[in-house]
Amino acid sequence: MTAARSPVSAQLVEWTSDQLRARLGEALTVYVTAMRYPMSTVQQRAPMWLSHMLRPGWRCTAAVGADGSLLGIGYGYLGAPGQWWHEQVRRGLVSVRGTGAAREWMSDYFELTELHVRPDAQGNRIGENVLRRLLDGVPAGRVLLSTPEGPTKAWRLYRRVGFEDLLRDYLFAGDPRPFAVLGRTLPLPSDESGH
């Protein structure tokens, strides 16, 4: 018989870029642990996260535990031509779904750039709560994201809140793993479970 895990409670807070900068090492550790990247990735990703903070519409939501530790983090910004991810996804959409689909999805959207929960805190709706708080009031008609292919808790979350497939098994430059690009209209549906 296995012992039941106690639920982990988290306080959701919106962070400014200064607040994320102050805890960037901790946030990147959550990211690499959740994504199963080597710890050396922290140093590689730090400049990218810092540059993302300067983009129009950037916002960040953190989930902080009772002891002050970071349990989860999510951030994104308004997507626009010229951004690396935008250009990669637009190219994929044009090749698979045509220019009309690319034009429809790649205008007026918020790029959900990062959403990660520390593995020992997963399964407590922290990711969904961060996602909902982060996207609440976003000034865009759609949200897009990319996530590694495979059956994960992240996939179950994105399906539960209505994300649809835009691209599957897509290879981004610099990562050998296949990714899916998902999207949905905003706002998100209300949380029917009462959370």
Active site residues: 158
Q: Which of 126, 111, 144, 110 is nearest to 30 (CA)?
A: 126
Alpha-carbon span 151 to 106, nearest angstrom: 26
Query: Which of left, alpha, beta for 125 (phi over 0: left; psi -120 to 50: alpha)?
Result: left
| Cα–Cα distances in angstroms (integers) from residue 190 to residues 108, 132, 155, in the given order | 22, 9, 19
165 phi, psi to nearest 5 deg? -75, 130
Q: Which of 121, 131, 133 is nearest to 10 (CA)?
A: 121
Are 116 and 28 contacting, i.e. CB atoms less than 8 angstroms apart? no
Look at the block and give the residue holding tokens 């029917």: 192
The token pair at 43 is 């140093």
The token pair at 185 is 């209209």
